[in-house]
A and B are shown apart, each in its own frame.
Chain A
Amino acid sequence: MSTVVDAAVGGATRSRGRGRRLALTVVAAAVGLAFILPAVWILVGSLRPTEDIFASLSPLSWSLFVPEQITFANYVNLFTGAGFGRALLNSVVVCVSTVVFGVVMCALAAYALSVLRFRGRGIVFVVVVVSFMVPFETIAIPLAGLFTDWQLDNTFLGLVLPGLGNGLAIFNLRQHFLGIPPSLREAAVVDGASEFRILTQIYLPLSGSALVNSALLIFLGQWTAYLWPLLITTDLDMFVAPISLARTFSEHAFDFGQNFAGAVLLSLVPAILMFVLQRFFTRSIAETGSK
C-alpha cells in the first residue's frame, strides 16, 4: 500500500521522506542516549577502581564512559564483604519459591474466575482487581505489624507470602483463559473429566506465554522488592540483595565501585530474563494496556 503511494508521489517526496526519517532517527538516538548514559556510567563505574569513577570527571571527556583499565575487584569485594553473597542467595530462594507457588495459585484462581459460574464470582473478581490496583506498599506497614505478631518476621515464609496472591497475574491469566474456546472444556466435561484435569491437560498447555508472563511478573515483584523486606527482616542472615546493597550504600557511601557492582548484578538478572522472555513480555503489556 505505502509503496504504491510512494511510487505515485515521485522522487521529490521520497527523498523528503528519507530526510525526515533520518532527522527523526537522530532525535530518537538522542533520546535513547539520554536515558541510557546514566546506566552506562554505572556499568563502567562497576568495572573501574572507585577513585577513577570521580577522577574521570574533570575535565569532562570521553573517559567518563570509557574506563582506562578494567577491574573486577569491585565484584570480588562485594562477595567477600558484608554478606552480599548470602543476600543474593536469599533473594533467589524467595523469588523462586514465590514464583513456583504463586503461579500455581494464580492459575487455579484464574481458571475458577474464567470458566466456572458461581455466586460471588463478581465480588471475588473485583477484590482481585482492586488488590493489584492499590499498590502493596500502601498496606505494607500494618501488615508488617501483623506478621511480627504472627512471628513471621525474619522468615522466608514472611518474605514469600505477600508475593503469592498476585492480582495482576490472575487478571492476565484470566484474560488468556477467556480466549480459549469453551467447547474444549464442554467436550471434556461430557467425557467426565474433572475441572482439575481440564485445567492441567487443556488450559495450561495452551497458556505457555501467559504463564511465563505471570511468572515474570511475580519474579520481578519479588526481585526488586525493598520496602517489605526492609520492614520484616532485621536479621543479617535474612537480608535479601536489595536490602544488603542499600546497607552497603549507607555504610560505605564512598565505595561507589562496590555499590555500582551490586546495582549491576541486581539489574542483570531481570535484564537477562526480560531479554530472553521479551516476546511474552511485550505481548502482555499490549493486552494490559488495551483492556
Chain B
Amino acid sequence: MTLVAPSPDPEVRRSGRAAQRRSWRDRHHDALWAALLLLPTVVAIAATRILPALEAVRSSLFHSLPGGLRPAEFVGLDNYVTLLSTEAFRDTLVRTVVFNLVINPLQIGIALLVAVLFVQRLHLRGLWRTLVFVPCTIPIVGSSIAWGAALGPDGPVNALLAAVGLAPQPFLTSADQALACIILIASWIGIGYWMMFLIAGLQEIPAEYYEAAKLDRAGPIRTFFSITLPLLRRPLLFVLVADTVANFVLFVPVQMLTGGGPESSTSLLMFDAYRTTFGYGSRNLGAAEVVILTVIMLVIVALQFRLLREDKGAR
C-alpha cells in the first residue's frame, strides 16, 4: 500500500487527461470488438429477416407473370388495391382478425385458470403440470395428424359423442365447424405452453399478499381479482402478445388438415399468402399479403413495447 498523500494539482490534471485518452481508446477498442463479435449475427439477421421483408415490399409493388417471360412491371400499389377489392381476401383478413380475437383470450384465459389451479397445494402437482405441458412438446405436424384422425368420421371424438347419445359431427369437413376445430387443436398445444409462463409469474407474487388477503377474509374470487390479476399484469401481457403473434402465423394444421377449406372457412392470412404465392403462382400478390401480415405483426409488437413501458412507469 502506498501512502496517501494530497496529490498536487498538475498531476491530477495529467492523470485526468490520461483517463480521457484511455476512454477514447477504450471506445474504439469496444467498437472494434463489437463489430467483430456481432458481424455473424448481424449478417444472419439482415439476410434472413430484414432483406426478405424489404424484398416483399419491393415485390408487392411490381407485376410479373409466372415464368418471367416478361420483365416485371412497376405498378405502385395496384396489388394492394387488387387484394382489398377481392371479396375473398377481405373475408380472409376479417376471418384472421376474428380468429385471433377468439383464440387468444380463450387460450390465455384457460392457461391462466389452469396455472392458478396448478399453484395451489395439490397432491402430485408436478405430474398434472407435466400432463398439460406434454402436448406442446409434440411437433405440430404430429399433433395435426393425431387430431385429423381423432376428429374423423370414425374417430374417437365422434365415438365419444355417440356414447353419450349425440349425433356424429362432420368437424373438419364442415364449413361451420372446421375453424373451431383448428382453434381446438392450436389450444390443445398452446395452453400448456403459456401456462408455464403464467405459473412462473404466479410464483413471483410474494406470499405475504395472499396472507394479508386471508387475514382480511377475502374469498378466492376477490383475491384473484384484487391480487393475482393486477400483480400478474406483465407476464399476462407478455403471453397475450406472444400468443397473438404466434396465432397470426398459424399454418401447419390448416395446410395439413383443411387446405383452407371447406369453402375457405379456414383460410387464414398466413395460409392464404402461401397459397397465393405457390398454389396460384402470384408471387407479387403473395408478397403484398406478406407485407400486410408483417405490418400487423410490427404494430402488435410496438403496442406491447408501449404498454410494457407505460406499465413500468406506473409502478
- Residues of A at under 8 Å CB distance from B? 17, 21-22, 24-25, 27-29, 31-33, 35-36, 38-39, 41-42, 45, 53-54, 57-60, 64, 105-106, 108-109, 111-113, 116-119, 121, 124, 127-128, 130-131, 133-143, 145-146, 161-162, 164-165, 167, 170, 195, 199, 223-224, 226-227, 230-231, 242, 245-246, 249-250, 256, 259-260, 262-264, 266-267, 270-271, 274, 282, 285-286, 288-291
Contacts and interface: CB of A to CB of B under 8 A. Distances in A.
A256 B35 CA distance: 52
Closest 9 CB pairs of A and B: A263-B142, A165-B44, A32-B131, A143-B52, A109-B41, A32-B128, A137-B249, A286-B200, A112-B37
Contacts of B83: none
A134 B298 contact: yes
Interface in B1-37: 26-27, 30-31, 33-35, 37
Contact of A266 (B141, B147, B160): B141
A130 B31 CA distance: 23
B123 A27 contact: no
A45 B148 CA distance: 14
A242 B251 CA distance: 14
Contact of A263 (B145, B191, B246, B270): B145
B155 A57 contact: yes
A106 B42 CA distance: 10
A158 to B, nearest CB: 10
Nearest to A195: B33
B274 interface: yes
A167 B132 CA distance: 27
B297 A134 contact: yes
A133 B245 contact: yes
Contacts of A138: 248-249, 270, 290, 293-294, 297
Given A22-B123, A28-B125, A32-B127, A139 B277 contact: no
B139 interface: yes
B206 interface: no
A28 B256 contact: no
Nearest to B160: A60
A282 B201 CA distance: 12
A140 to B, nearest CB: 8
Contacts of A224: 139-141
Given A105-B44, A109-B41, A267 B56 contact: no
Given A131-B49, A165-B44, A58 B162 contact: yes
Contact of A161 (B35, B48, B239): B48
A28 B142 contact: no
Majority DSSP secondary structure for residues of B touching A? helix
5 contacts: A35-B134, A162-B48, A165-B48, A256-B145, A290-B201
A108 B198 CA distance: 31
Contacts, number: 283
B301 A130 contact: yes
Given A139-B56, A146-B51, A39 B162 contact: no
A282 B38 contact: no
B231 to A, nearest CB: 11
B240 interface: no
Interface in B287-302: 287, 290, 293-294, 297-298, 301
B160 A24 contact: no
B286 interface: yes
Contact of B123 (A25, A35, A116, A199): A25
Contacts of B45: 127-128, 131, 165, 167
Interface string B49-70: 1111101100100000000000
B42 A35 contact: no
B113 to A, nearest CB: 9
B114 A136 contact: no
B35 to A, nearest CB: 8
A105 B40 contact: yes
Contacts of B255: 230
B137 A271 contact: yes
B183 interface: no
A139 B139 contact: no
A32 B27 CA distance: 55
A142 B117 contact: no
A229 B133 CA distance: 26
B238 interface: yes
Interface centre among A53, A113, A264, A286, by most chain B C-beta atoms within 10 angstroms, is A286
A34 to B, nearest CB: 9
B297 A135 contact: yes
A184 B310 CA distance: 35
B156 interface: yes
Interface centre among A112, A119, A289, by most chain B C-beta atoms within 10 angstroms, is A289
A246 B256 contact: yes
A116 B34 contact: yes
B301 A249 contact: no
Contacts of A262: 142, 145
A289 B201 contact: yes
Nearest to A288: B197
